[in-house]
Amino acid sequence: MNGTPLIPSDVDRQHYHLAIIRETAAELGGMRHPKDILESFLMSAQGGIGALGGFAVLTDKMSELTHLTVRGENTISHGQIKALIKTASDYILLNAERFPFFIEPDTFLPLSYGFSLILACPIEGDRLAFLGLAPAMHRRDYDPEDRQLLMSLSSLFQISLNSTLFSTRVELLNAELEKRNTELDRQVFHLNGLRELSMEAGESVDVEKFLSAFLPTLLGRFSRSQGLVVLHDRAAGVTWLKSMGIEPIPAMASLPIDRLLFLCLAGVQYKRIQPLQAEPVLQIEPLFSLIPGFVPESAFLFLVKDQMYGAVLLGNPLEEQKISEQEKELLSAFVAQSVLHLKNADSFAAIVALNKNLEDQNQALRETIDELTRAEHRISVLELAARRIAQMVNRNAERIMQMRLLDFVLIIGISIVLGALFNLQNPKGISFFPQARPDGIKSITTSDADKLLTEENALLIDARPREFYELGHVKGALNVPLSLFDAVYKTRFSNEDPERPLIIYGRNFSRLFDEAVARKFLNQDHERVYLFLGDMNNLLVPGGHK
Amino acid sequence: MPGLLLTWIRHPLTALMIRFYIGGLFIYASLNKINFPAEFSDNIAAYILVPHFLVNPMAVFLPWIELVSGVCLVAGIRVRACAAVICTLLGLFTTALIVVLLKKTPIDCGCFQNVGDPVSRVTLFRDLVWLAMGIYVFRYDSLIHLDRLFMIRPEDLDGL
């Protein structure tokens, strides 16, 4: 395509033009760079119409040249091309042309700098491409065939350039996307780290265990080789210290924890840290020499709750690269999340302690309830016993006020016993049982008594007490009361014939006076003593009865 | 006035004093009869109310019943039962006195001594008064009961 053959006829010329168009299309199809496309377009156009030289330019949105190709014999400078293009650009943008068109040099561009044809080609994205061709060889004028060829070539050029620019934009976008994807992957990686940390923290509600899991996760996620975390609970007087990758291993006793935390506080921007907040330590230099074998690259000071605070110190990254702001933000979020988990662990510990306390109190309460239940049972038993006692007391009180057969039995029984015993030992005691009538005392009938009285001068004796005798007695009867027997016998019977029959009467319902007196007479050796048991009024006595 | 009289009549102290009197009376009355059972048996026989085979047992045991009842009455042991016994005895004595008075039997009472205490209407009235006292003690006495000395009283259990 570099040679310019003479075209003998229009048909041959059209064939030639078509061949140029075909070859140009094939060539442009494999090109990706705008400069290459411009060069190919200029060569095809210049060769196709036999121009002595030309230029092809591509501008950006601001009508500034981005690509420029000059060929052939011409003396136009870059400045002139710029001026030319600037003027043309204003016109094209003003009219919003979309398809290639020729710019007539005489009409629109007073300064054509000797170029016979100037073709303007709008490109996507408000960009413009210009083709300027010098006059043809042999001073031939360009005819419509030449213009047609150029239009066709410019269409190809436009399509190819648009495609290339589009591809370039797509590639740029892809690159940008890939970059962003990489960044996103990193963020996802860190967020996964946060999620894993949350999951691990969710399984671990112990501060010690959490710190043991947190530090390796933090160092791993952010590619740190050394790290240290310290947590101090001032109220409880407990301090936790975890470190990784630091040689020698910092010991709790030797590490100036208070100074460490103080320096961290001095290095933060906002001194009034709120609970669950983590502040980055901006002035980290004072910490460099605090821990042997460890020079922290970044540090965070956090407050879990009032009187419970700590710090996280991280060493340099494994890869020597500057940490992006986004990573710093992620690191800060990581630490903040960890503080939240620490708070949860601390709260859990407090809850466990409360539960333990509650459990102890519940146990004490249960024991108290059991004791109360037992006491209540005892009280119930005692109350029941008290009621029964009260009932017994009332019954006893009623019983005491009541008479019982036993009372009478006891009174009479005791009386009988005492009476019997006393009577036995009493010299004046009397016999309980009546004495049997002695054999020497016989009872007689009325007629026998009459006979004895009349024939044998029997003596009639009234044995009743004097009072009864005074009330009435048989005339002639002699009163010999039992109580006065001895006196009467002495005075009256001392000289009496013991053979003289004695008829004694005077018994009643309550007393056998006659038998008692008859016994007395018998004891006085009177042999003939008789008891008259009949009615004394029936006795026939001299003088009757009194 | 009637209220005050009623109050004094129902007063436990009144019943207590009468109880002591009746108890002491019977103790005194029993002592002579216990020592002289033969004479007392004559007194019993004089009433001609008791069969001859019971005269001697009565003469021996009756004074002891009087003594035991009197002592228990004074001590406050089974007061109501003792009061009932004494009232029964007084009832029997009063009945016997009424019979004797109706029969106009000139006998001695035999209550405190064997002789020198003839039965008369005064004796009957006296026995009736004592009988009333005995009934009064049976009804109203409530103080100083020895058999309740060591007993828990219902009033001590207030609240149970």
pLDDT tens digits, A21-52: 898 889 888 888 888 888 888 888 888 888 88
Place of tokens 């500057």: A322
A10-172 and A198-349: same fold? yes
In this predicted structure, the answer to whether residue A544 has a pLDDT above a threshold of 60 is: no
Residue B25's pLDDT is 94
pLDDT tens digits, A414-430: 999 999 999 999 898 88
Which chain A residues contact residue B69 at CB under 8 A? 411, 415
The pLDDT confidence band at residue A105, using thresholds 50, 70 and 90, is low
pLDDT of residue A62: 76
CB B73 within 8 A of CB B22: yes
Residues from chain B that touch A407, judged by Cβ atoms under 8 A, are 78, 80-82
Whether the bond into A292 is cis, omega within 30 of 0? no
CA dihedral B26, B47, B61, B67 (to 10 degrees): 0
| A464-522: pLDDT as tens digits | 888 788 888 888 888 998 888 999 999 988 888 888 899 999 888 888 888 989 999 99
- Is there a contact between A287 and A296 (Cβ–Cβ < 8 Å)? yes
pLDDT category of residue A539 using cuts at 50, 70 and 90: low
Chain A residues whose CB is inside 8 A of the B148 CB are 397, 400
- DSSP of A188-251, one letter per residue? HHHHHHHHHHHHHHHH---HHHHHHHHHHHHHHHTTBS-EEEEEEETTTTEEEEEEES-SSPPP
Tell me what percent of the residues of chain B surpass a pLDDT of 70: 95
Q: Report whether pLDDT(A534) > 70.
A: yes
Report phi then psi at A369, rounded to 5.
-65, -40
Lowest mean pLDDT among A13-17, A366-370, A532-536: A532-536
Q: Which residue of B has its CA nearest to A394?
A: B154
Q: Does any CB of chain A come closer than 8 Å to the CB of residue B132?
A: no
What local confidence, expressed as pLDDT, does residue A15 receive?
87
Distance CA A414, CA B61 (A): 10
- Mean pLDDT score of chain A, rounded to an integer? 84
Distance CA A318, CA A222 (A): 9
User: What average pLDDT does this structure show over A399-411?
Assistant: 86
A276, A340 contact by CB (below 8 A): yes
Which of the four pLDDT bands, split at 50, 70 and 90, describes residue B65?
A: very high
Task: Please state the rounded mean pLDDT for residues A371-386.
Answer: 91
Do the Cβ atoms of A407 and B81 come within 8 Å? yes
Higher pLDDT, A153 or A95: A153
Task: Give the Cα-Cα-Cα angle B130, B97, B101 (nearest 5 degrees).
Answer: 135
Which CATH class name applies to A441-538? alpha beta
Q: Which residues pair with A313 in a beta bridge?
A: A228, A299
A198-349 has CATH 2.160.10.10 classification: no
CATH of the domain spanning A10-172, picked from 3.30.70.1140, 3.40.50.720, 3.40.605.10, 3.30.450.40: 3.30.450.40
pLDDT given for residue A303 in this prediction: 92
Contact B63, A428 (CB under 8 A): no
Residues 6+ apart with CB under 8 A from A513: A463, A464, A465, A481, A482, A506, A507
pLDDT of res. A356: 92
List the single residue in A400, A418, A429 with the smallest CB-CB distance to B64: A418
Cα–Cα distances (Å) from A497 to A522, A537, B97, in that order, read: 13, 27, 43
Among all residues of chain B, which has the CA nearest to that of A433? Answer: B53
Q: Give me the residue spans of the domains in chain B.
A: 7-140
Query: In this complex, is the C-beta atom of B41 within 8 Å of any C-beta atom belonging to chain A?
Result: yes
Question: Does B43 touch chain A if contact means CB atoms closer than 8 Å?
Answer: no
Q: Give the DSSP H or E segment for A297.
A: none
pLDDT at A546 over 50: no
Domain-wise residue ranges, chain A: 10-172, 198-349, 441-538
Residue pLDDT, tens place only, A173-206: 999 999 888 888 877 877 787 787 777 666 667 8
* Interface membership of A384 toward B (CB under 8 Å): no
Is the CB of A389 less than 8 angstroms away from the CB of B160? yes
Q: Residue A113 pLDDT > 60, yes or no?
A: yes
- A246-264 pLDDT per residue, tens: 888 888 777 788 888 899 9
Determine, for residues B35 and A434 on separate chains, whether the beta-carbon distance falls below 8 Å: no
Alpha-carbon distance A386 to nearest alpha carbon in chain B (angstroms):
7
A546: distance to nearest CA of chain B, Å? Answer: 18
- Which pLDDT tens digit goes with each residue over B68-115? 999 999 999 999 999 999 999 999 999 999 999 998 877 777 777 656
Search chain A and give the residue with CA nearest B85.
A408
A308-314/A298-305 β-pairing = antiparallel
Confidence of residue A321 (pLDDT cuts 50, 70, 90): low
pLDDT of residue A338: 87
Kindly provide the ipTM of the predicted complex, given to two decimals.
0.91
Nearest to A133 by CA among A56, A36, A18, A19: A56
CA distance A121 to B77: 150
Cross-strand bridge partners of residue A122 = A128
Structure tokens at B112: 């405190």
CA distance A157 to A25: 8
B119 neighbors B109 (Cβ within 8 angstroms)? yes
The pLDDT of residue B20: 95
- State the nearest Cα–Cα gap between B152 and chain A, in angstroms: 6
